[in-house]
Chains A and B, each alone.
Chain A
Amino acid sequence: MKALRSNLQLFALPALLLGLAPRVFLYDRTAIMHGEAWRLWTGHWVHFSASHLAWNLVVLLGAGTWLEQARPGLPGRFTLVGAPLISLGLLGLTPAMQAYGGLSGLATGVLVLLALVQLQARAAERGWWIGLLGLVAAKILHDATHAGPLLSRFETGVHQASAAAHVLGAGLAAAAFLFHRSAMCRTPSFSAS
């Protein structure tokens, strides 16, 4: 319950609050270049429709709660560092994309992180977590190959599903996992176990 509450505070509550003034918080390439650095973080919490927010939250709350139970504090730390890094990656990799919004980059990262943590901790459940990684890979592949616009899902305009955000989220999660594992290995209690 505590894990769910912390994820609601981390993802759902800010998404609802930032939705009140999306223009101020959206990832906007020009604005970021002009020094509005908070958008590197806040852009992920801005959504373009209720269904856009809902599907992202369903996945993120499920995976985030599980990860919070397995490794307390890890989702929060990953989000704090991962959000601006994904945005910086988008600035570099997708110069034609003027604006971006959505938690799916972070959600992909949390999913991958959960799967890697569980793969390491529970060898007996390997099949399920490899399956989850396969699902993430399929999603990225789908978005990359079906690069068509999301014509009907959003009410406010044409949007392109950003495969780059998912790739960056997954890559950052892998890096975070390696960093986390090496940090855990250095602690005496982890080495002993």
Chain B
Amino acid sequence: MENKLSLQVPRLVALALLGLMLLSMFTGCVGWSNRRHHEASSVVQFLYPDKDQPFIQPQIPTLRLPLRVGVAFIPAGLGDGRGGFRPIQANFTEQQRTELLRKVAGQFKALPFVQSIEIIPTTYLRPGGGFENLDQLRAMLGIDVVALIAYDQAQNSTETEAGLAYWTIVGAYLVPAQRNSTHTLMEAVVYDIPSRSLLFRAPGTSTVQNHSTLFRADYFLQQASAKGIEDASAQMTANLAQELELFKVRAKEEPQNIRIEHKPGYTGAGALDGWFAALFALILAGRFAASRK
């Protein structure tokens, strides 16, 4: 009897160890299969990095035409809690940034009142550089207006009920039990540097959702990140075109909100408008009608 018990103890210990091992694998799988990634560059953090700093009161912008416009990406980074910034690992590649900057620059180039566009390298902007940084760029590049591009991308990969298949190990390779979602927000904000005033903004958003196997989740997330950035960028550039058109109208119709001056060397036009021609025609027609009576 004693001998039988002595034989069973190691077996029970072995079973308990196996159970613990499986449990740890299971919990490990759960921790491993749920993941999050967030990267962002914030206009507010860039322009107003120090919370103790008093709010900068914008003035009525005075645009001196033709404009020289700068286009730049706000550097991605997160506050370190001590007033500083730490850079983050960004999915947004340099090639994607350059391509987007070119597209945005193209939108501005089409405007008749824009003289030149400067694509500003990201290295010229300091994280949290604020308006002082923009003043430096203004002095260095001679720009009046800057279009700052910021983005925010959050990715989630969570396990669905089908994740039970991961217990089989093979299931992690074959069963698409990961639900991946990627939310991207792109935003172009256009500031008049001297007056510190926001002229207009244009957002673009994208949501990409897909399923993948556990072992292909990274690849799918990368693909979704690229697609999210591409879609949001396309929407943002389309919105930017609309906002530019609205801005042209606003600049004409709201002189109290946007002052427009001409730099020396402007071109004058001797132009008679349609309303003038119409009234002139009315007067002539009236004169004819009166002379016939």
Contacts and interface: CB of A to CB of B under 8 A. Distances in A.
Interface of A: 44, 48, 52, 55-56, 58-59, 62-63, 66, 90, 94-108, 111, 125, 128, 131-132, 135, 139, 146, 148-162, 164-166
B277 A161 contact: no
List 3 tightest A-B contacts by C-beta distance, closest first: A102-B270, A104-B270, A162-B268
Given A128-B286, A149-B113, A157-B66, A55 B267 contact: no
Nearest to A51: B274
A59 B278 CA distance: 9
Given A148-B252, A149-B113, A158 B291 contact: no
26 contacts: A48-B269, A52-B271, A62-B281, A62-B284, A96-B264, A98-B267, A100-B267, A101-B267, A101-B268, A103-B270, A104-B269, A111-B280, A132-B280, A132-B283, A135-B276, A135-B283, A150-B271, A151-B113, A151-B252, A152-B112, A152-B248, A154-B269, A158-B66, A158-B262, A160-B268, A165-B268
A192 to B, nearest CB: 26
Contacts of B268: 90, 94, 97, 99-102, 159-162, 164-165
A153 to B, nearest CB: 7
B112 A166 contact: no
B258 to A, nearest CB: 9
Contacts of A150: 269, 271
Contact of B267 (A132, A139, A146, A160): A160
Interface of B: 65-66, 112-113, 248, 251-252, 255, 260, 262, 264-274, 276-277, 279-281, 283-284, 286-287, 290-291
Most B Cβ at <10 Å: residue of A125, A149, A156: A149
Nearest to A60: B272
Contact of B269 (A102, A128, A132, A148): A102
Most A Cβ at <10 Å: residue of B274, B279, B287: B287
A98 B112 contact: no
Contacts of B255: 146, 148
B254 to A, nearest CB: 10
Nearest to B264: A96
Given A128-B290, A132-B283, A135-B276, A148 B260 contact: yes
A99 B268 CA distance: 6
Contacts of A148: 251-252, 255, 260
B266 A160 contact: yes
Contacts of A102: 268-271
B112 A104 contact: no
B270 A166 contact: yes
Contact of A101 (B269, B283, B286, B291): B269
